[in-house]
Amino acid sequence: MNPVVWFFIAISSSVASSIFWKYSAREILKFSSNANLLHKQVTSLWYIVGWFFYLLATFLWIYLLGKYDFSKIYPIFVGSCIVLSLITGLIFFKENTGMLYKTIGAVLIICGITFITKS
C-alpha cells in the first residue's frame, strides 16, 4: 500500500483516539461521582475505542519511523495532527473561539509542511 495512505491512517487514528477520549471524559464527568470515576473511565466504550485507535496510530507510526527520516516525518506528522485536531474540534465539539488565529496558525503549519516535504 502507498506510504501516504499509511501516514494518513496514522494521523487520523491519532486524532480519533483523542476525540474518543474527549467524549469519554465528558460522559464520565457528567454522570459519575468522584468515588467511581476511574472505574467508569476505564470501562467506558469511548475510552476503549480511543485506545484501539491510539495503538493503531502507534504501530503505524513506528513503521513509518523505520522507513523515513525522523527530521522530515516528525514535523509533518505533528503539524498534520494539529491541523486535523483544529478541524475536528470545530466539527465535533463546536470549538470556534479564536478561529482567526487558529486559521492563520493552520495555514502557517501547512506552509511549513509544504517546505519540509520539498526539502
Asked if residues 53 and 78 have their Cβ atoms less than 8 Å apart, the reply is no
The C-alpha cell of 44 is what?
Answer: 467506558
**Please, what is the end-to-end C-alpha distance for the chain in angstroms?**
24
Of 7, 1, 15, 10, the residue nearest 117 (C-alpha): 7
- The per-residue pLDDT for 52 is 97
- The per-residue pLDDT for 119 is 72
**pLDDT tens for each residue of the chain, 119 residues long:** 788 899 999 999 999 999 999 998 888 877 666 667 777 777 889 999 999 999 999 999 999 999 999 989 999 999 999 999 999 998 988 888 788 888 899 899 999 999 988 87
Note the pTM of the prediction, 2 decimals: 0.84
